[in-house]
């Protein structure tokens, strides 16, 4: 059994408490924290993104990730503002960005977020001309079933599609095997403001897998 390699990317807070006792650090230094664990997401040489959300009325205050092996670079997208803080740099959801730097066996990462109550989060420091908030993709999760299935996704009414991507995730206790990762293939095409996905999956005995489609809608 492979051991997951741990990567920390924890947002600094003004007030800290005793560290959490978990193997990951998304709740370290937070007095009140709800941890949320994502699936094992397949990383590739082409950058992939995965969005993980807090419960309602909570914002992201800490982040971490586990890697199935070394050679995966994981970061997250934050918003401009001062101070760097939950509710300013982050919102209810965090978008993880990953890229495989070293080839070889299939690699995966599992994102973690620590969520704190949104009440009392900081405010952005006013500037002469503030940039627009970062474009948060609309995330759609599709349950993977054996066989070949086709999906069509669009932006909400009144919005225009400017880009789209997808990622594959496995809800397993340990990193998925190379054979399991290779059992799912996804092709994506974009035309006329419509995203079309074709998901082909082999046998998935007792494994919950998803494809997350992210639509950038302006």
Summarised one tens digit per residue, pLDDT across range 161-208 is 999 999 999 999 999 999 999 999 999 999 999 999 999 999 999 999
Q: What is the pLDDT of residues 14-32, one digit of tens each?
A: 222 333 334 899 999 999 9
Mean pLDDT of all residues in 10-15: 32
Tell whether 133 is covered by a domain. Answer: no
Residues 101 and 154 in one domain: no
Q: How many domains are there within the chain?
A: 2
Residues 14 and 93 in one domain: yes
Residues 41 and 75 in one domain: yes
In 135-148, which positions are buried (b, 16+ CB within 10 angstroms) versus exposed (e)?
ebbbbbebebeeee
Neighbours of 123 (CB within 10 A): 11
In 37-70, which positions are buried (b, 16+ CB within 10 angstroms) versus exposed (e)?
ebbbbbbeeeebbbbbbbeeebbbbbbbbbbbbe
Please report, rounded to a whole number, the percentage of residues in the chain having pLDDT higher than 70: 82
Please tell me whether residue 180 adopts helix, strand or coil conformation: helix
**Which has the minimum average pLDDT: 5-19, 49-63, 66-80, 158-172?**
5-19
Tell whether 127 is covered by a domain. Answer: no
pLDDT at 127 over 60: no
Residues 93 and 175 in one domain: no
pLDDT computed for residue 135 by the predictor: 60
pTM for the structure as a whole: 0.80
Mean pLDDT of all residues in 43-58: 94
Among all chains, which residue has been given the structure tokens 């940039």? 131
Residues 20 and 88 in one domain: yes
pLDDT at 74 over 90: yes
What distance in Å separates the CA atoms of residue 104 and residue 95, rounded to the nearest whole number? 25
Residues 84 and 9 in one domain: yes
Q: Where are the alpha helices (DSSP H) in the chain?
A: 178-182
């Amino acid at each position: 059994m492979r051991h997951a390699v741990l990567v920390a990317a924890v947002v600094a807070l003004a007030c800290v408490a005793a560290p959490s006792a978990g193997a990951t650090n998304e709740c370290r230094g937070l007095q009140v924290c709800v941890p949320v664990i994502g699936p094992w997401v397949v990383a590739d040489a082409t950058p992939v993104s995965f969005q993980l959300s807090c419960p309602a009325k909570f914002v992201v205050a800490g982040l971490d990730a586990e890697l199935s092996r070394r050679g995966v670079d994981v970061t997250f997208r934050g918003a401009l503002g001062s101070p760097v803080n939950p509710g300013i740099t982050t919102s209810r959801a965090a978008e993880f960005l990953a890229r495989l730097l070293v080839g070889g066996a299939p690699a995966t990462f599992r994102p973690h977020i620590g969520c704190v109550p949104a009440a009392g989060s900081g405010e952005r420091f006013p500037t002469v001309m503030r940039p627009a908030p970062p474009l948060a993709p609309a995330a759609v999760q599709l349950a993977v079933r054996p066989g070949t299935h086709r999906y069509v996704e669009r932006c909400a009414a009144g919005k225009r599609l400017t880009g789209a991507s997808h990622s594959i995730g496995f809800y397993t206790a340990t990193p998925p095997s190379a054979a399991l990762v290779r059992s799912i293939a996804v092709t994506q095409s974009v035309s006329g403001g419509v995203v079309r996905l074709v998901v082909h999956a082999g046998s998935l005995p007792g494994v919950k897998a998803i494809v997350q489609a992210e639509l950038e809608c302006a």
